[in-house]
Amino acid sequence: MQNIEFLTPKVENYKVVPETITSGYIHSVESCGTVDGPGIRFLIFTSGCPLRCLYCSNPDCRYLENGKKVSVDELVTEIKKYTSYMKASGGGVTISGGEPLFQPNFIREIFKRCQELGINTALDTSGFCNLESAKAVLDFVDLVLLDIKSFDPATYTKVTSVSIEPTLALAKYLNEINKPTWIRFVLVPGLTDDPNNIAGLADFITTLNNVERVEVLPFHKMGEYKWQELGFEYLLKDTPTPSSQQVQAALDIFRSRGIFAI
């Protein structure tokens, strides 16, 4: 398979990888997740991602070819085993990554099959995608978990190596179609915690009517060992986890705008 590298990708050059509707590449699955959407959820982590986030917990998901090729039928067979748990808890299936929209046809088919089974679907995405490709996927998505890494464009690019514009475009489209959305923001001391940065994001969110909540996620280094094993330089090794006071300060900014933030 062709080696795919996105060190400094631009959205105009962003192309989804060759794929079929019936199969794609995943990193792993988790059968009983509880933090990526409501209820108990079956999580699928896809391979392939155009971002290079400084704090990425799954750097082993960067490349498509490092994943395992699976069919939609295989995944649906596994998902069905947990249907009773998901439905009883108000849960469902969440697809994360990597970047799921790197393989839109594959992801769309999984979600389509889930909805046919009456299973709730959630998409966890960075929003760095081809919007036209994403639209077809969103037809079969009940909830979007949209990761907005920063609002200041320079900080966003420093964190991810890509532009914020595609993410904002997706956020606006989700609002246009009134798609239920949770915004996720990772609080990184000395990087994303500038009050003006947080206030800018909060003000942007107030222009959206579809956002149900904002999740402030404290930075952690649980994936640092993966960077070391892969021979990648982890630039945030000296960055501390935010204190409870720093997290509260961020929450206060969102809540001061009338946003439900947790």
Sorted by where each starts, the structural domains of the chain and their CATH numbers stand as 11-256 (3.20.20.70)
Residues 67-85 have pLDDT tens digits of 999 999 999 999 999 999 9
Average pLDDT over residues 58-65: 92
Does the structure show a pLDDT above 80 at 64? Answer: yes
Residues 174-194 have pLDDT tens digits of 999 999 999 999 999 999 999
Q: Which residues contact 8 (CB under 8 A, 6 or more apart)?
A: 161, 162
Closest CA to 127 of 196, 159, 173: 173
Reduce the DSSP state of residue 79 to 3 states and report it: helix
Residues 17-52 have pLDDT tens digits of 555 689 999 999 999 999 999 999 999 999 999 999
| Lookup result for tokens 């798609």 | 179
Closest CA to 35 of 54, 55, 57: 57
Cα separation, 227 vs 241, in Å, equals 18
Closest CA to 119 of 45, 43, 22: 43
Does the structure show a pLDDT above 50 at 11? Answer: no
| Lookup result for tokens 């790197």 | 102
Sign of torsion over alpha carbons 7, 11, 17, 18: negative
Q: Are the C-beta atoms of 201 and 172 separated by less than 8 Å? A: no
Peptide bond into 98 cis (omega under 30): yes
If you ran DSSP here, which 8-state letter would residue 81 be given? T
CA atoms within 13 A on the CB side of 168: 16
Cα separation, 161 vs 180, in Å, equals 28
Q: Which two tokens stand for residue 33?
A: 């997740």
- Ramachandran bin of 215, using left for φ above 0, alpha for ψ from -120 to 50, beta for the remaining angles: beta
Q: Are the C-beta atoms of 141 and 122 separated by less than 8 Å? A: yes
pLDDT at 227: 96
pLDDT at 68: 96
Q: Are the C-beta atoms of 6 and 159 separated by less than 8 Å? A: no
Closest CA to 102 of 146, 145, 133: 133
Neighbours of 37 (CB within 10 A): 25
Interhelix angle for 244-256 vs 195-205, to 10°?
A: 40
CA atoms within 13 A on the CB side of 45: 17
Cα separation, 249 vs 227, in Å, equals 30
pLDDT at 14: 46
How much is the pTM?
A: 0.92
CA angle 57–62–65, rounded 5-degree value: 135
Reduce the DSSP state of residue 182 to 3 states and report it: strand
pLDDT at 191: 98
Residues 89-144 have pLDDT tens digits of 999 999 999 999 999 999 999 999 999 999 999 999 999 999 999 999 999 999 99
Does the structure show a pLDDT above 70 at 8? Answer: no
pLDDT at 20: 62
Average pLDDT over residues 250-256: 98
